[in-house]
Structure 1
Amino acid sequence: MKLIIRQYLASLRERGELDAIVPDLLSELGLRVFSPQPRRGPSEKGVDVAAVGSLDGEKEKVYLFSIKGGDLTRSSWNSNPQSLRQSLDDILDAYIPDRLQNEHKGKEIVICLCFGGNIRVEVRDSVKGYIGQNQKRYGVTFEEWNGDKLADLIQRHFLREELMPEKIRSQLRKALALLDEPNASYRHFSALIRSLSHIEGKSDKEKLTAIRQIHLCLWILFAWARDAGNLESAYRSSEFALLHGWEIAKDFRGKKTNPAESIQFAFFSILSVHQQIGFHYLNEKILPHVHKRHALSSAVRSGCSLDINLKLFDVLGRLAMGGIWLYWNRNLAQLSDEETEKKKKIEERGIEKEIQRYMAGTMELILNNPALLLPIKDQQAIDICLAALLLAMDANNAEDIKSWLSHMADRAGFSLKVRGAYPCNIDSYSDLLDHPKREEGYLENSTQGSILYPIIALWAALLDDEALYAKVQSIKKQHLQHCNFQYWYPDEASEEHFYTNSDSHGATLSHLPIDKSPGELLEQVFGECQKTPAFNELSAVKAGLWPLILVACRHYRLPVPLHLLQGFAAAKDIEGPSQETSSRK
């Protein structure tokens, strides 16, 4: 296990990676981290992390960390203003005399040279000479916190037997060993997360340790997956870890105690890793190829059209979620009061540019991969709705959405007419391989209910596309009169089960009035939103973390709550009565 951790640490970059792990480790060691707090950012006069406390029974000391990624080389030691030696000079000349808090002055100071690898031989003597000259001159102590020491501390304090039994550590090792078999790797990692997030009856301190362990294990998985060039397991695992992390953190929302703030900080660290994994996956594996005709379809490396269809809609949902997280990040940046106005505007422009790139990438993915013009599974409406939601955040994309969904309705109608590969309710992969069968009653059995056609009709109504709406009406009348056009809404049980998928929850609005006018459909479905206030009581919604709901919908295959589309309905002044929903349980 130590070798696994050692390799993981050596692969971490300095900013946003290694410096994201060190504060949690110091807290587990019993130190109090007082800088940076509560957010991580650029170093302050050479100090990346500052903490105070006692280690191994010694007297209380102040620990000042200057962090570098990988091995300490001649270049990272003393070649530019960002080198470690310059940071140490800044600590001695500026931070200690001017920035160190008064309450800590007079305490023994330890300056820690921290890096994920080792000191290279060619700079060892230079580092030793620097330390020898400055220890006596400034009256401070220097310590080397290299990858080996960090790995030992992580193993002893995060992964010790009483906190993480051998069975759980074995699951982590298996998840790493099977990265080239993503389904197996994800299975082991998700079992690990379920074990760590089982917190019933545990103290706040134990819950804090559990969520920090989730953060650490996810980082280890990401580091290994990045080195292996296969991020599939890491992406799926990060969604699972994020949702289970919120299950721990949600009860501490709004509380001001030290454990509560630390747990919330740990959750946002998991969120940061999830976003890094997602953006790395999309920026490296997907977006560079969306403009190439059939490129991503060919990359599935299967001669089976079913495999291509399933994977491309999965990728579509991931790309949409990437853009939605960027949209959320932009809004968060606008609310931040920690940056100067000029810096905030620069950051917002950068994020806005990325959002537009993700929107354009989504449309290019659709245009260059015709498999995305017709889903094989009705539940792929979830990914379609996510993509439409992202695109609809810019009104200039309205025509693109209508064109895409119109082609989809045309293909669905034709497939139903000729009994081709029409969207169905089948989940089993082996049964999907045999779809469609030319048997009596097969069509009726495989299309008993649908959220796909209601979603297409809903967007047609929101975008004032009467022709598209009429196409859905025609499909219903000519081919799917037996099919229950329906939609799902969260209910009172959803908060308990949404983030862990521990049980079924929610309610269904059945037999949607597709035969009526678009306005009447909108009044029906959004009127039901007013009658199902459970959505607004979800902890993620209350905390402003609404994309977390979409992550849960994508991961656990739940329809996107229509409450998130109410802004579009409000623009059309939609409100109205509703009929009763039926329990999904």
Structure 2
Amino acid sequence: MADQNEDEPRYFYALLEEILFKSDLPKEKKPSAERKRQKALCILNLSLNIVFHWCQEADNLRPALLCAERTILRTWDWMRQNELFDCKKTAKKFDQLFFTYLKVVGAYATKLKPHCFVRDGLFGYGADELEYPLRTFEVIGILGTLGIALNNLFAITTDEQQRQTYQGHMQAVAQILAALIANNPSALTPRYDNHAIDIALGLLTLSVAGYINQAAYWLIELSHSIVLAYRIGKYFPIASDSYDDLVAMEVGQAPPKEELMHCSTLLPMLAGWYAVLNLTNDYKAFQEAVTRTFTSTNFQLWFPDKDTDNYLYSTNAGSASGFNFHPFRLPQTLDDLKTYIIRIHDKYQTYTDLSCIRWQLPVIALIASRHFRTPIIPVY
């Protein structure tokens, strides 16, 4: 079923659960146990490569991408549960899985690259005006995650030549991302509140790659577009993340806009990026417009707690753990916003409990956010 997008690759997901969690893999440090674990991860890597090959033949890489993300996340969770991060042979097999993930996502980016440099190049990948922005933000999230993964490897690698290779690939991904945003107006019209995840991933890659002007342009244009759409009462990011609500809005049968956008994680996230990019004057205009326009919207940020690591790699951890900080205020000046954000972050530092932070692969949490739609942890 590699040529179909309608269904998630649930059989591959079941294979992961069977091999990692239902086959009683040993967790001892003795050589025989290590060999069994290595064999299991080799089977997973082979299986993932077979799916990748099928998807290439079917000219549809999306199922392989989903399988690759799920493999990384569930394998990490298995290692976490069995305290195997310090087992060098198991860790080496995980590294091989991670490089297969990079290969799959890299192939996805390469395939999409020509379409990102053409005006409305992603429109052909969506069936209509409604699908166009949904597909656009999915691609932004995938490219953003790839860029951060390459940056993560750049940060932890000691070999200078390899570091330069990672940096070059990251720059190439950021270039594709910047072109996508410049050429697809749909990149300015998020339709779901959880498109905050994909936007954050895109902004992270643009900023670490040095594309500061492009990041600032996108942030400002996004803000204008969201405010204008809400004032018009159409095409704004709905809190329910429901496709049915989007269709109802399209045909004029949706609930009132105040109900559809009763809360927002997207607007507080954008505010944070005005602080990161130090856009003093632009923030003032954003703050005034948002405060005046979204009088019925509750601004929220999700923070992890001590239980989040138990859920992050298997489900939407935003529903199963953590807490929503609200109402998030928008102070009048950027300096006041920075002070406010720092004070909140000093109070809620539970992200340090996450295994991916402790073991120097913070991109794992971002892959989890993209895959399971957990809000991006604000510390990023």
Report the CA distance between 1:189 and its aligned residue: 1.7
In the alignment, structure 1 residue 324 sits paired with structure 2 residue 148: yes
- Mapped partners of 2:326, 2:226: distance in 1: 21
1:16-42 CA-partner distances (Å, limit 9, x unpaired) = xxxxxxxxxxxxxxxxxxxxxxxxxxx
Q: Structure 1's 254 and 180: CA in aligned 2 closer, same or farther, altered over 3 A?
A: closer
1:528-552 CA-partner distances (Å, limit 9, x unpaired) = 3222332112111111011111100
Amino acid at match of 1:429: Y
In the alignment, structure 1 residue 286 sits paired with structure 2 residue 112: yes
Contact 1:199 1:207 in 2 (8 A): no
Q: How does 1:397-416 map to 2 (within 5 A)?
A: 397-416=211-230
Residue 356 of structure 2: aligned partner:
540
The one of the two structures with greater contact order (alpha-carbon pairs below 8 A, sep at least 6) is 2
Contact 1:494 1:505 in 2 (8 A): yes
Residue 310 of structure 1: aligned partner:
134
Superposed CA RMSD: 2.2
User: SS state of the match for residue 530, structure 1?
Assistant: helix
Contact 1:456 1:472 in 2 (8 A): no
Residue 507 of structure 1: aligned partner:
323
In the alignment, structure 1 residue 184 sits paired with structure 2 residue 10: no
Amino acid at match of 1:269: Q
Contact 1:419 1:436 in 2 (8 A): no
The counterpart of 1:236, out of the listed 43, 51, 66, is 66
- Mapped partners of 2:146, 2:335: distance in 1: 32
What TM-score do you get using the length of structure 2 for normalisation? 0.90
Amino acid at match of 1:249: M
User: SS state of the match for residue 302, structure 2?
Assistant: strand
Residue 192 of structure 2: aligned partner:
377
In the alignment, structure 1 residue 391 sits paired with structure 2 residue 209: no
Q: How many residues align?
A: 370
1:59-104 CA-partner distances (Å, limit 9, x unpaired) = xxxxxxxxxxxxxxxxxxxxxxxxxxxxxxxxxxxxxxxxxxxxxx
Report the CA distance between 1:297 and its aligned residue: 1.8
Q: Structure 1's 435 and 468: CA in aligned 2 closer, same or farther, altered over 3 A?
A: farther
Amino acid at match of 2:348: T
1:202-250 CA-partner distances (Å, limit 9, x unpaired) = 5234655543432232122112222322211000111011100101123
Contact 1:211 1:267 in 2 (8 A): yes
In the alignment, structure 1 residue 450 sits paired with structure 2 residue 264: yes
Q: Structure 1's 472 and 508: CA in aligned 2 closer, same or farther, altered over 3 A?
A: same
Uncovered stretches (5+) of structure 1, i.e. residues with no partner? 1-177, 337-343, 565-585
User: SS state of the match for residue 182, structure 1?
Assistant: coil
Report the CA distance between 1:252 and its aligned residue: 3.6
Contact 2:316 2:373 in 1 (8 A): no
The counterpart of 2:376, out of the listed 528, 545, 560, is 560
Report the CA distance between 1:374 and its aligned residue: 1.5
1:407-434 CA-partner distances (Å, limit 9, x unpaired) = 1111112111121211111322222111
Residue 30 of structure 2: aligned partner:
none
What fraction of aligned residue pairs are identical, expressed as a percent? 24
Amino acid at match of 1:483: T
Contact 1:382 1:557 in 2 (8 A): yes
User: SS state of the match for residue 508, structure 1?
Assistant: strand
1:442-465 CA-partner distances (Å, limit 9, x unpaired) = 212111111111121111122222
The counterpart of 2:47, out of the listed 193, 196, 217, is 217
Q: Structure 1's 495 and 364: CA in aligned 2 closer, same or farther, altered over 3 A?
A: same
- Mapped partners of 1:210, 1:532: distance in 2: 38
Choose between structure 1 and 2: higher helix proportion. 2
Report the CA distance between 1:268 and its aligned residue: 1.4
